[in-house]
Amino acid sequence: MKYLLPFLILPTLVMAQAPEGQMQAPSFQQIKQSMLPVIEESLPGMKKARACLSKADALPDVEKCMKTMAEMAQATQKKLGMPAGQKPSADIGKPPEGFEWNAETKKNMLSNIDRSIEQNSVMLECMKKSNSNDEMNECMSSKMSPPSR
């Protein structure tokens, strides 16, 4: 799980249908209008997921956290008008086969969630004060710390 909600930036790549039938990229203002509420609503859920995982000591605890994260991701996809995942509901939140919950896995997952929270917080701040893609890119690059290695 590299980032908790990587699909939050997908609408910037989605193409909108123009009246003449030509494909046209949505304007920054259209993206901003649709993304701001989604990002604002997702941050508390991401923080809740982080808190859940930080308390998880065994695989059943992790499964509960993952189910919450998967449900949150599905709700966000629905708000964005994206098709829901193809997994049957019984599989939601199930870790991949062979998944081991140990101190290193926990550390890595918490680090990834922290990075996602940071990215989305910066994205929210920059989106609120930007009026163009250039302003948004400049703001994001000035505020994001480089990924840790």
What gap in Å lies between CA 5 and CA 38, rounded to an integer? Answer: 11
3-state secondary structure of 23: strand
Residue 3 has pLDDT above 80, yes or no: no
Residue 16 has pLDDT above 70, yes or no: no
Residue 35: its pLDDT value, please?
86
What gap in Å lies between CA 7 and CA 76, rounded to an integer? Answer: 9
With cut-offs at 50, 70 and 90, classify the pLDDT of residue 20: low
Residue 96: its pLDDT value, please?
83
> Using an 8 Å Cβ cutoff, are 53 and 106 in contact?
yes
Residue 22: its pLDDT value, please?
57
> Using an 8 Å Cβ cutoff, are 33 and 100 in contact?
no
Where are the alpha helices (H) located in the chain, listed in sequence order? 28-55, 59-79, 103-129, 133-143
